[in-house]
Amino acid sequence: MPDFSLTAEQESLRDAARKFARTEMAPKAAECDKSARFPEEIYRKAWELGLMNLNVPTEYGGSGLGALEQCLIVEELAYACGGMTTSIIANCLALEPILLGGTAEQKSRWLNPFCAEYHLASFCLTEPGGGSDAAGLQTRARKDGDGYVLSGEKCFITNGPHASLFTVFATLDPSLRSKGIAAFIVPGDAPGIVRGKDEDKMGHRASSTSTIRFEGVRIPGAQRLGGEQDGFSIAMRTLDQTRTPIGALATGIAQAALDHSARYSLERKSFGKVIAEHQAIQIKLANMAQAVHAARLLTWHAAWSIDHGHPGTLESSIAKCFASDAALRVADEAIQIFGGYGYMRDYPVEKLMRDAKLTQIYEGSNEIQRIVTARELLRQYG
Amino acid sequence: MEIVVLIKPIPEAESRLRATPDGRGLEPEGVKFVLAGYDESAVEQALLLKESLPGSRVHAVSFGPARCEETLRAAIALGADRATWVEGPPEGSDDPVLAARALAAALQTVPHDLVLGGKQAGDDEEGIVPGAVAELLGIPSFGYVTDLRSSGPSGLTFLRPTEAGVERWEAPLPCVVGLQQAWNDPRSAKLPNILKSRKAPILKVDWPTTSKALALEAKPRSIGEKFELPAPRTGAKMIEFKTPEEAAEKLVRLLREEAKVFP
């Protein structure tokens, strides 16, 4: 039988994240959501405590945690605010290409100074012309002496307005599709970077999102990650690593929705008794609890697979897809349990539904996750 | 400065508490015990003093059952240099004087210029241990202390807020201080330090050693008789009113007729 108990170390990491989430993030979640404020003071504090560069090895100044530990932390943070969590963990996504594709020299050159101070990084893959069709990206990298010149536009870039480092995927030859894509490290102050306006989003409003336009941005050859054809593979392997924490993020939102609902159902009265005594509500709560449990266990299993050296592509796709679908469903039911109050912004559950929605879309839409799942599945039969 | 900070694991604020089957004490099963409350402030204050006086060391000491170890690791993760678990009797004990005797016995071999603790534990709030430890060590004791600062290698200054005003004190070292509040809100542990704290050694003074040192004093003198949780609070009553006068009139009537606060 598998052992689902956490080690004392894992519990203490989770407790630290829980404390931060409940004392620092939760009190400001509603305000930041309402005003779409980017709470930099919270992000700085998260960085100070080591909650930001979770996947970066300690030798480069990160926290050097495994996938399961990352998931435990991310779930706790997302319980308090999905949007803040997105901004806090964006560095993990943006720096993973350097961890996967960088040479020892590149890692030391870029990660050490980056992690030694509070800095944000952004992962630049998605473009206005396509997100899921990553192999069809149009941002061009043209050879220029010993370097490259980047031209094109990326969109929906988390932390884009604030990032001091970008990992950028650009094509040397669009006709080669995935084989033409290379990955680059681009410092935020490189001439030719134009940051778009902060997007007005449905949810994750404490996070900041913008387009990033590259207008002839010159990059030395030493800032290319891997070979000229390796970019697509680096991007996909990055997502294999970072998809699982999105499952954890969705699980955190779902758990919050369940907790709010269960508490409310023990307070709110209708037909002369608390609504928790009505079977209609009990069945909803049971379904929600099933979804939360399943989401968490799938996420833990995917993380366990990655921590045990498996690629985790299938497991992480299943986990991310299931957990994010579960989060939206559970948040939807939470609003239903709250009734009219649930629809009001003064109550916490409608935010959860808006925040949950994004987890079905970003870091690989759930349609893509299902395609990945089917492909991995059929491979076992073909 | 050699700073010893006395800490006690207490139930996490969100814990759901219940009595043991014999009804004499708190059932520890299923309760998470943490470093919190005044003791957490004491650790913060110890670290602030250490940072203000280069060469200082903080030694966290906890008396009780095995759960002390987690609390000591929490102190190490925050910045304590060393930690000692003074094991309690196997049958358990809530006797604060026994705790003080065991701690004082253990401190015989631990260098201490300042012994710092919360003014009282955050759970039972008895506030006996710091004073009793001082008495047993034969050094001065000060309680309800705030704004604790070093005044050189051999002294401290601090404030004691009282009902009559704020007292300013100077105290010699060594002494025991029961802290009301640190200068800062307690810091949070950084993730890398939490990971390091898991591997840090915890010194242990086992119960047989303590028991032998205390001889006849190793027996608890006080034993809990009955442990009861407060009765659940009944719901609030909302008074509907159009004018403040009407609200006051209704409130007075309720206080007199229902709550019977006055005749």
Q: A45-69 burial by CB neighbour count: b if 16+ within 10 A, else e?
A: bbbebbbbbbbbebebbbbbbbbbb
Concatenating the DSSP letter of every residue in A286-308 gives: HHHHHHHHHHHHHHHHHHHHHHT
Q: B66-92 burial by CB neighbour count: b if 16+ within 10 A, else e?
A: ebbbbbbbbbbbbbbbbbbbbbbbeee
CATH 1.10.540.10-classified regions of chain A: 8-116
- For the question of residue A117 being annotated catalytic, the response is no
Distance from CA of B145 to the nearest CA of A (A): 26
Distance from CA of A83 to the nearest CA of B (A): 22
Establish if B192 touches chain A: CB-CB under 8 angstroms: yes
Nearest by CB to residue B192, choosing from A12, A20, A50, is A50
Over residues B203-213, the mean pLDDT reads 96
Does A50 contact B74 at a Cβ distance shorter than 8 Å?
A: no
The CA-based dihedral angle spanning residues A239, A362, A343, A79, taken in that order and rounded to the nearest 10 degrees: 20
Radius of gyration of chain A measured on its C-alpha atoms: 21
- ipTM comes to 0.88
What is the three-state SS of A81-98? CHHHHHHHHHHHHHHHHH
The residue of chain B with its CA nearest to that of A8 is B198
Q: Regarding predicted confidence, which is higher, B239 or A41?
A: A41
Which element (helix H / strand E) includes A187?
strand A181-187
Write the pLDDT tens digit of every residue in B15-56.
899 999 999 888 999 999 999 999 999 999 999 999 999 999
Nearest by CB to residue A13, choosing from B70, B74, B191, is B191
Residue count (chain A): 382
Establish if A8 touches chain B: CB-CB under 8 angstroms: yes
> Which residues of chain A neighbour B189 with C-beta distances below 8 Å?
16, 49
| pLDDT given at position A1 | 63
Q: By the 8 A CB rule, do A326 and A294 touch?
A: yes
Does A20 contact B74 at a Cβ distance shorter than 8 Å?
A: no
CATH 1.20.140.10-classified regions of chain A: 233-379
Does A49 contact B188 at a Cβ distance shorter than 8 Å?
A: yes
Query: CATH classification of A8-116 is 1.20.1110.10, yes or no?
Result: no
Number of CB atoms found within 10 A of residue B1's CB? 23
Per-residue pLDDT band for B14 (boundaries 50, 70, 90) equals confident
> Which residues of chain B neighbour A54 with C-beta distances below 8 Å?
191
Taking phi over 0 as left and psi of -120 to 50 as alpha, with beta for the rest, A204 belongs to left
Over residues B67-76, the mean pLDDT reads 97
Q: By the 8 A CB rule, do B38 and B122 touch?
A: yes
Over residues B218-231, the mean pLDDT reads 88
Question: In A7-164, at which residue ranges do the beta strands (DSSP E only) sit?
Answer: 121-124, 140-144, 147-158
Q: Is the pLDDT of residue B226 over 80?
A: yes
Distance CA B253, CA B263 (A): 10
Nearest by CB to residue A63, choosing from B73, B188, B192, is B192
Distance CA B96, CA A122 (A): 55
CA neighbor of A100 nearest in space, from A169, A26, A31, A2: A169
Nearest by CB to residue B188, choosing from A9, A20, A58, is A20
Q: Given the residues A69, A75, A228, A363, select the one marked as catalytic.
A: A363
Question: In A226-362, at which residue ranges do the beta strands (DSSP E only) sit?
Answer: 269-270, 273-274
Write the pLDDT tens digit of every residue in B166-188.
999 999 999 999 999 888 889 99
Residue B89 sits at φ, ψ, to 5 deg, of -65, 150
Which residues make beta-bridge pairs with B87? B64
Report in angstroms the alpha-carbon separations of B126 from A243, B108, B192. Answer: 50, 24, 35
Establish if B74 touches chain A: CB-CB under 8 angstroms: yes
Instruction: Judge residue A172's burial from the number of C-beta atoms within 10 Å of its C-beta, 0-12 exposed, 13-18 middle, 19 or more buried.
Output: middle
| pLDDT given at position B88 | 97
Per-residue pLDDT band for B222 (boundaries 50, 70, 90) equals confident
Query: CATH classification of A121-227 is 1.10.10.350, yes or no?
Result: no
The DSSP secondary-structure symbol of A130 reads B
Nearest by CB to residue A16, choosing from B70, B189, B198, is B189
CA neighbor of A324 nearest in space, from A276, A368, A283: A368
Residue B18 sits at φ, ψ, to 5 deg, of -150, 165
Distance CA A67, CA A87 (A): 18
What is the three-state SS of chain B? CEEEEECCCEECCCCCCCECCCCCCECCCCCCEECCHHHHHHHHHHHHHHHHCCCCEEEEEEEECCCHHHHHHHHHHHCCCEEEEEECCCCCCCCHHHHHHHHHHHHCCCCCCEEEEECCCCCCCCCCHHHHHHHHHCCCEEEEEEEEEECCCCEEEEEEEECCEEEEEEEECCEEEEECCCCCCCCCCCHHHHHHHHHCCCEEECHHHHHHHHHHHHCCCCCCCCCCCCCCCCCCCCCCCCCHHHHHHHHHHHHHHCCCCCC
Q: Which of B33, B40, B69, B191 to mutate to test the interface with A (most CBs of A within 10 A)?
A: B191
CATH code: domain A233-379 is 1.20.140.10
CATH 2.40.110.10-classified regions of chain A: 121-227
How large is the greatest C-alpha to C-alpha distance in chain A, in angstroms?
79
Please give chain A's pLDDT, 382 residues, in tens. 678 999 999 999 999 999 999 999 999 999 999 999 999 999 999 999 999 999 999 999 999 999 999 999 999 999 999 999 999 999 999 999 999 999 999 999 999 999 999 999 999 999 998 888 889 999 999 999 999 999 999 999 999 999 999 999 999 999 999 999 999 999 999 999 999 999 999 999 999 999 999 999 999 999 999 999 999 999 999 999 999 999 999 999 999 999 999 999 999 999 999 999 999 999 999 999 999 999 999 999 999 999 999 989 999 999 999 999 999 999 999 999 999 999 999 999 999 999 999 999 999 999 999 999 999 999 989 8
Q: By the 8 A CB rule, do A365 and A211 touch?
A: no
Establish if A51 touches chain B: CB-CB under 8 angstroms: yes
Query: Could you tell me how many CB contacts below 8 A there are between chain A and chain B?
Result: 38
Does A50 contact B191 at a Cβ distance shorter than 8 Å?
A: yes
Distance CA A344, CA A204 (A): 17
